[in-house]
Each structure stands twice: as structure tokens, then as C-alpha cells.
Structure 1
Amino acid sequence: MKCPRCGNTQKSYFYKGSHGYYCRKCIGFGRLLLEEEINIKLEDIHDDCSEYTMQYPLTKQQEAVSKECQQYIRTKDVLLECVCGAGKTEMVLASIADALNEKRKVCFAIARRQVVLELAERLNIYFKKAKIVAVCGGHTDEIDGDLIVCTAHQLYRYQGQFSLLILDEPDAFPYRGDEVLHGIAKHACIGNIIYLTATPDAYLLSRVKEGMMHHIILNKRPHGHDLPVPRLLIYPSVLLFFILIRWINKHACNPRIIFVPTIKTAKILGFILNIFMQCYVCTSESEDRDEIIYHFKQNPLGVMIATTVLERGVTIPKADICVWHANHSVFDEAGLIQMAGRAGRSFTSPEGDVLFLCSEKTELVQLCKNKIEQANQICAV
């Protein structure tokens, strides 16, 4: 027995009901009988929808990566490992255009709902003749288009529908460690998958080693400047607070994002800082996250306190970054690299500032700093 939706073959997860067997591993997406045919018929691709226009030309390095991805994705999966802010979306446009030109359905799956909506808007600018649909919480009335942009959990709707699937940040939540979501993603695609990430995990690298996918690496941003290397300061928490206040005031000309390890810390720090300045707080408990992010983007001198919900996908021009208690166990290497990657993404402010405040020295924080320095050194060679 094999689940047609998530690919589960473990007998212990199958249950025989009154109408037949169904898989309990992916029951959260609705009951699907093994004998039940998945009759989903999407519309045909529109003519000329593969034409796209970019707002700016790719750099030579981006162009080389784009062509290499375009070549290999026809025959095998591709892991596109690029530093934060390298322009991963722009480098897969040619591959998307190829698929659309051959009347093949394309899906861009992303972890965060906010990023789904933002990316759909960007792709509408690039592919003016294509029907691009965003499918996520609150946006499920229309689920068919030439190019579908959706959250990971919405892929259950599209078993066997896509010839090209682009998975953004597959090493992060909610993909990471979730066999069901990985299975649903694989069964939604009948062709090949492009994995986009700055921090590939052991699973992706093992598939590269086994020859199951082609690996492309780019360690340079389009503006050509080095990645901002985090500065590490190690002091007791009381002193760290005064250092944080000084850092906030010193960088008052730019938007500032302060990453914290827990929701409780975000609320406490937000309450204190709101006494002195306008401060936004964004956590997984924030019901109006989209509105909070929108207002923060409109305030070029604002301060945002956020948990890891903002570590990926959200770009704030000219933002400076501070990670409070970067040594906390809730943070991992990939997360810290992604947080640091929020800085220096703008052409007008390519340097950026990244500060890691630690209550004690840890190997993980130093490892993150070393990895960013190594990426810069590789680019310099």
C-alpha cells in the first residue's frame, strides 16, 4: 500500500474504514482513500505566457547560474545554493519560462504566507501575460493558474499536477523534519524540483553526493559587496541591554530588526522599548503579521522585534540587524545565517550592520560567523 498524496508506505499508518483504506499520516489534509482516484483537472497553459521582462539585467555570475539551472533541470533536480540576497528568484525565471513555453504547469512553493503574496506580485511584474495565482491562508478561492505560488501546506491540492516545482528554503520550517510535507511536495510534481536555499541541510547535500541532483553555488550578491559579517559581543544580560540601546540609537537612520529567541522576550523587550520609541513586535502569536510588516516597511526609522518568523523571505531595504542572546539554544546555524542575511541587501546600502549579543561564548555562533567569512573569501578568490 502507498498513499497517493504523501507517499507513505508504512502499514501502521493505514486504517480500513467503511469505505476502504486511507492514510492516517496525512489525515490532517483530509481523508483520502487509497482506491480513490484524484480527479483534479487544471486549465491549460495560456499562449505567450512564458514571455517575461526583468526590471534589471542579471550579473554575469547570475546569468551563468541561470543558464546552468535551465540546462540541468530538464533531466534532474537542482539544488541552487546561493547566499541571502543573491537573487535566487530572478535566476530561476528562465527555467520557469521554459516550462511555460512547453505548456507545463509550474509551482513556486514557499514556507511563509506573507512571502507568497509578495512573490506573486513580483512574478506578475515579470510575467505580464501569465495568469499567476497566490494560494495560501485566506486566498484559496482561486487555485488554478499558469504559475501557482503557494505555501507548503497548500501543495496537497495538486497531486501530480506540476512539471516544475520550485521549493524555497526546504531546509527550514515547515519542511524541515516533516516527512508528510516532503512526501506531498514530491507527489505534487511529476517532473523535476529546484531547491532554493542559502543553508542546505544534510539531506539535500546527501542527495547531491549520491548524484540525485545537480548542485549550483553562488556566494555573491548582485551589488558585488561582501556579506555583512556579524560582530560578536559577550557580556552579562544587564550589560547587553545597555549595549542594545546604544546600538539602536547609533543606527537611528536605518530600520532596525532585533531578533529574539522567545515570544516572551519579544513581548517584554517590546514593552520596554515602546516607552522610548515606536516599536513593532512580530511573533508567531501575532494575528496581524502582514499588517505589522507592512507598517514597519513604511517607517524607514522603525524598530522591529521579531522571533524567527522573520528570519527568512522578508526583505527590508537598508535594515540593520541585531540578534539578542544569539547563543540561545532555540537558534541554529542556518537560522543565524539567515538573520544576518537580512542586512546589506540594498544597492544603496550594501554594507549593513549585524550584531550578535551573547551572554556566553558558543561554538555555534562562531561557526555562523566563520561560514559567512568563508563565503566572502571564496568570492574574493
Structure 2
Amino acid sequence: MRAAAAQRTAAGRALHGRRVPHRSGTPVGAERSAGGGRLRCAGVPGGAALGFLAEPRRRSAARGPERFLLWAVTGAGKTEMVFPLLEAALAAGGRALIATPRRDVVLELAPRLARAFPADVPAVLYGGSEDRLRRSRITLATTHQLLRFHQAFDLVIIDEIDAFPYHNDPMLDYAARQVCKPGGRFILLSATPPAELQRLARSGRLPHARVPVRFHGHPLPVPRHIRMPPLHRCLKQGRIPAGLRSVLQRSLDRKAQIFLFVSRIAHIEGLLQLLRRMFPEISIEGTSSQDPGRAEKVLKFRDGTISLLVTTTILERGVTVPHSDVFILDADSGLFDEAALVQMAGRAGRSKDDPAGNVIFASAEWSRSQRAAISQIRSMNAIARRQGYLKS
């Protein structure tokens, strides 16, 4: 609970109202609404969005729920930021929904929400969930579960709006709009919003707040690049390049938990064999969307039983492991776009006890997506530094 309180406090500072020109597009804590009214923050996390909830309606209910974008870097504490929004909706007698694209993230959020709202323990919905018939004023669900509801919620919060399967799925986007009451509010959360939403926010047509710093006040780790042959060639040759082995050893020497991301499920087993031969003294496992034991392995990775976890982008979001380093092999793969690289890099440095972390992009080529991801991370750090949010 102390960690959650720290996240709320730091998030509140980051979102505390600063006045900016309506159409400047300057990244700030709290910006004016599209209707021209100033969104103030009363020193609480999510304050700009809370002001948005409290604003009088400027549009007819027939035009549907209004939207607000909370654009916060990975590890900023978005979950804690939305707690005041949930509290406000419940205090007004309403119902609230939090939807996220992946089951892993739902399972990560469920106990945190239950601790924060013991009087309204959320109904948790996903494929195979036992809560299908349980009612609660708070619902936590995967986005596919939205198809079950119609205009049922006063507040709808869509997390990770840029993630598969929600992103680029018109059916799920339509379903999300339909679950919110016409007079309700619709909050979008993302560390890497789609380009169209970024344009709307910068032009002033989408009310939003940007949080460029994590709750602990340290900068985001900036990835370093090392050259290595394509992974499929390494597997065929049966060896891992010396450069990669060296940086992996440094992470192991500092007792870091290692996320090792690969672009293809087919590469996991072969890589596991090489790594176990190279580092026989540590526990190494692999997981993917096809692994029925994924949840158990993530728990063991989180508690330190597993030291190195080879995985795909299935774990690029929603999984927080203190004292972790991130390695992305074949970082030049077309399967890794800018958003995916930023999200994977965001697994490192999330703990206040290990805020630096290490992120390695390993690839044969230096791709546009890698350059863009590093540019985005550096840009957020520069904004946070300029606005005085980083610790000296």
C-alpha cells in the first residue's frame, strides 16, 4: 500500500494543473479541454481526468460519451491514477468498467483493485472466468468481454488502447463505445497512443493529459544497441554471440531478473537449449501465448525462482518485475514496431529500488522502429526534466 501511495503522490505531481495554450500541443500535466474549459488538478492522481468527469456536459447525450486520453509513460502508475476516477463514479452512484486487451493484464490488475476497493471487489471477466454471473459496481474485463454489455456503465476506462487485439479492431472499438451510457465518460489509457489519437490530442480536439515521468521520479532507461546476427542463424549454428553473452552475464552478475524477448514462438525452444548450456547455474524458462503454464511461470519469474524468461510480446505489457533487465533479440524484426519496442523496454527500471535497469536492442540492422522508440523515450525524459519532474 505504501508503494501505491507513492505512485498516487508522484502521479498527482505529474498531473498537477499547468496552464498552456489550448492548441500548443506542449506535453504537460493537465491541459485545457477541447471545449476551452481549463481542466484543473487538485493535487490528486488523475486529476485532469477527474476534472473532465466533473465538467458540465457541453454536448448532447445523443452524440455519445465524451473521451479523455491519459497518455502516461510505462511505469508511471496509470492504475493508481484511475483510482480517484473510480471513486468519483461510485460516489455518484454509477458503475465503472476497466477493460484491457490481454488476460495477463487483467490477472495483474485484479488483486490491486480488490485491495483498493474492498467494499466493491471487481467482477473479473475473461475467457473461462468464474465471475460471469457475479455483479459488482466495478467490472474488470478483457476487451472481448465488452460484447456482453450495452450502455451499462457510467465510466468506461480502456487500458492499452494501442495493443492487440483492441488496436485496429473496429468491432472491439464499436463494442467499447456501446458499453458506455450516452451521458457517461470514456477514458483512454496508453503509454504509446496510436498516431491518430496523438494528432487529435496535439491539435486540441481530444482532451488529454500527458505524464512523462514514472512515479519514482527517475528517467526511463534508454536502450543500447548491440550488433548480432539474426537469431535463426545463431540457432542454426548452435551458438550465442560473445557480445550478447557478455551483456547477459553482466545482468546476471547484478542479480537482475531478465526478460529476453524474441519475435517468434518457434525460436524459444532452441534458444532455451543454448542458454541453459551457457548458464547452467540459473533457472531459465520460456513462455508464449501457446503455453498453458504461462501464468505460473510469470509468478515464479516475479518471485525470483526463475532468473531468465524467454518470451514473446505476450509479456510486453502489464507485467511488473522489480530489478529487471530487458533484452530484445532481432529488434529489427518487422514484427516489432515502435510501440512494441517502447513497451518491452518499459519492463526495466520500474522499481524505485532499481530505477535505471538495462535495455538492450540486439539486431543485425539498425531499423527505423528502433530509432523511433529510442527517440520517444529520450523525448519523454527531456520533457520530464524540463518540467522539473526528475530527481536531480
Coarse TM-score class (shorter-chain normalised): 0.7 to 0.9
- Alignment map for 1:152-163 (pairs within 5 Å): 152-163=143-154
Q: How does 1:243-262 map to 2 (within 5 A)?
A: 243-252=243-252, 253-262=255-264
Q: Aligned match of 1:217 in 210, 219, 224?
A: 210
> In structure 2, how many angstroms separate the alpha carbons of the residues matched to 1:148 and 1:222?
26
Per the normalisation by structure 1, the TM-score is 0.82
| Rounded Cα–Cα distance in structure 1 between residues aligned with 2:244 and 2:359 | 12
Pick one of 330, 336, 349 that aligns with 1:331: 336
Shift of 1:117: 2.0
The residue number in structure 2 matching 1:61 is: 13
Moved more, 350-359 or 125-134: 125-134
Deviation at 1:121, TM superposition (A): 0.7
Take 1:155 and 1:141, find their aligned partners in 2: how far apart are those partners?
Answer: 12
Q: Within 2, Cα distance between the matches of 1:73 and 1:206? A: 22
Asked if structure 2 preserves the Cα contact closer than 8 Å seen for 1:333 and 1:364, the reply is yes
Unaligned ranges ≥5, structure 2: 17-28, 30-45, 58-65, 387-392
CA distance in 2, matches of 1:72, 1:362: 39
Displacement after TM superposition at 1:377 (Å): 0.9
1:368 maps to which residue? 373
Percent identity of equivalent pairs: 33
Aligned to 1:28: none
| TM-score, length basis structure 2 | 0.80
State yes or no: 1:379 paired with 2:384. yes
Aligned residue for 1:257, secondary structure, equals strand
Equivalent-residue separation in structure 1 for 2:110 and 2:242 (angstroms):
41
Corresponding residue to 2:139 among 135, 139, 148: 148
User: 1:274, CA displacement in angstroms?
Assistant: 2.7
C-alpha deviation, 1:267, in angstroms: 2.1
Aligned partner of 2:50 in structure 1 is 70
Structure 1 residue 128 corresponds to structure 2 residue 127: no
Matching of residue 107 in structure 1 with residue 100 in structure 2: no
- 1:158 Cα deviation (Å)? 1.4
Name 1:198's counterpart in structure 2. Answer: 191
Describe the superposition over 1:173-230 as per-residue Cα deviations: whole angstroms up to 9, x where unpaired: 0111100011111101111211110001023234436755311101011111110000
Is the contact made by 2:259 and 2:324 (CA closer than 8 Å) also made in structure 1?
yes
CA contact (8 A) 1:81 1:218 kept: yes
Q: Which amino acid aligns with 1:67?
A: G
Q: Closer, same or farther in 2 for the Cα pair 1:208/1:234, shift >3 Å? A: same
AA aligned opposite 1:222:
F
- Check conservation: 2:76, 2:214, Cα contact below 8 A: yes
**What is the total number of aligned residue pairs between the two structures?**
329
Distance change (3 Å), C-alpha of 1:114 and 1:236: closer
CA drift of 1:141 comes to 3.6
Q: 1:209 to 1:347 in 2, by over 3 A?
A: closer
Give the alignment of 1:286-365 within 5 angstroms.
286-299=291-304, 302-365=307-370
Equivalent-residue separation in structure 2 for 1:209 and 1:295 (angstroms): 42
Query: 1:126 Cα deviation (Å)?
Result: 1.0
Residue 321 of structure 1 aligns to a residue whose secondary structure is: strand
SS of the equivalent of 2:241 reads helix
User: Structure 2 CA distance, aligned partners of 1:54 and 1:337?
Assistant: 23
2:178 corresponds to 1:178: no
Q: Do the aligned residues in 2 keep the contact of 1:220 with 1:226 (CA within 8 Å)?
A: yes
RMSD over aligned CA atoms reads 1.9
Q: Which amino acid aligns with 1:205?
A: Q
Q: Which amino acid aligns with 1:120?
A: A
Q: Deviations over 1:108-166 (max 9, x none)?
A: 00112122122111011111211311111221443421100000011111111011011
For 1:79-98, what aligned pairs fall within 5 Å after superposition? 79-98=69-88
Counterparts of 1:264 and 1:133, CA distance in 2? 36
Q: Which residue of 2 aligns with 1:281?
A: 286
